[in-house]
Amino acid sequence: MSHASAIKHRSEMLRLARDFFTKRGLIETDVGALVKCPPNDSNIDCIATDQDQNYLHTSPEYAMKRLLSIGVGDCYFLGHVYRKNEQGHLHSPEFTMAEWYRVGFSFEKMIEETCDFISLFLGDLPVEVISYRKAFSDFAGINYSTTSLHELQKMTQSTWDRQTCLTYLLSHVIEPKLGKSRLTVLTDYPPDEAALACTKQKDGELVAERFEIYHEGVELCNGYHELNDAIELRRRFEKKNEERQKENKEPYPIDEPFLASLKTLPDCCGVALGFDRVLMLKQKSKSIQDVLPLA
């Protein structure tokens, strides 16, 4: 495909995405890219813009949830987000994200709709759902919760802490094996990996209502049953900042207006999807650079 053809194809795919959301009754949100308090994740670094400590957003999540809290209802974002130090065949410091929220949707229904969205571009594919625990058992050969730190360090040839070892095994051993000729939905994450998701008891253990979907070893999205407990989220943010400081990274300010808005955040599910990765797989390319304009 020529570069000009790729640009035209991308335009058509963006139209299809917007049509998908419009037909399902979602409104498009146009939130600003410049923020004072970026989403707090020890694994994601933000691009600072000036000495006033403004940042380019890594996700529209906080802004969209504030809109949900004032009654906007089902909504989506389709636009650019920015992340520092991300470069490679699956990464770019600037990329297109599709993020949407559904009020009153069950966790299972959100997974189904996300698979529908992906199938719009990749065609109908079998869908399998696998738990975090089973993925570690099937593809890494361990029980993630009982394997000793010594054994994890031996497997990763490292001196890392437990969570870093598990994260490495997930990304380097397990993820490449997921979604072969299908969509694989990874669910039931451990509480330490809940991020902004609710937790619940399932089969005698506490798990996070979080999912990720993979195709051909590529992570496409990350979704949650959204937590609206401001006290618990503050605790998680503070823990993430502690982790950042241990790694000699800059801690990020906590978004107080966002936490305050959670009092009126309706019960909802949300998902953030890497649109360029979906287009890359659709075009059977090896790198998202092949689908980025003027990359």
- Average pLDDT of adjacent 10-residue blocks, the chain of 295 residues: 81 97 98 90 86 88 98 98 90 96 98 99 98 98 96 96 94 97 98 96 96 98 98 95 88 94 98 98 92 78
Q: For residues 167 and 173, what is the distance between their CA atoms, to the nearest angstrom?
A: 10
Cβ–Cβ < 8 Å for 244, 250: yes
Tokens encoding 123: 């065609």
- Helix/strand/coil percentages in the chain, nearest 5: 40, 25, 35
Query: In angstroms, rounded to a whole number, what is the distance separating the alpha carbons of residues 25 and 93?
Result: 31
Measure the CA–CA gap between 201 and 143, rounded to whole angstroms.
18
Query: Residue 224 in 3-state DSSP?
Result: strand
Is the CB of residue 266 less than 8 Å from the CB of residue 68?
Answer: yes
Beta bridge partners of 267: none
Domain-embedded: residue 134? no
In whole angstroms, what separates CA 270 from the centre of its chain? 10
Quick one: tokens of 1? 């495909």
- Is 57 exposed, middle or buried, given 0-12, 13-18 or 19+ CB atoms closer than 10 A? buried
Residue 15 lies in a domain: yes
Separation between Cα atoms, residue 54 and residue 36, nearest integer Å: 5
Cβ proximity of 111 and 129 under 8 Å? yes
Q: What is the pLDDT of residue 1?
A: 65
Residue with token string 């770019």? 92
Q: Structure pTM?
A: 0.95
Residue 175 inside a domain? The answer is no
User: Is 98 in contact with 120 (CB distance < 8 Å)?
Assistant: no
Residue 115 lies in a domain: yes
Q: Residue 161 falls within a domain, yes or no?
A: no
Strands 183-187 and 127-131: parallel
Range of the domain at 245: 3-126+181-290
At 142, is the secondary structure helix, strand, or coil?
A: coil
Count of C-beta atoms within a 10 Å radius of residue 212: 19
Question: How many domains is the chain built from?
Answer: 1
The answer to whether position 65 is within a domain reads yes
CATH code of residue 82: 3.30.930.10
Q: What angle do CA 227, 232, 234 make, to 5 degrees?
A: 105
Specify if 117 maps to a domain.
yes
> For residue 124, how many other CB atoms are within 10 A of its CB?
10
First to last CA, the chain: 15
Q: How far is CA 154 from CA 144, 145, 151, 253, in A?
A: 14, 16, 5, 36
Q: Is residue 69 part of a domain?
A: yes
Spatial distance between the Cα atoms of 287 and 31, rounded to a whole number of angstroms: 28
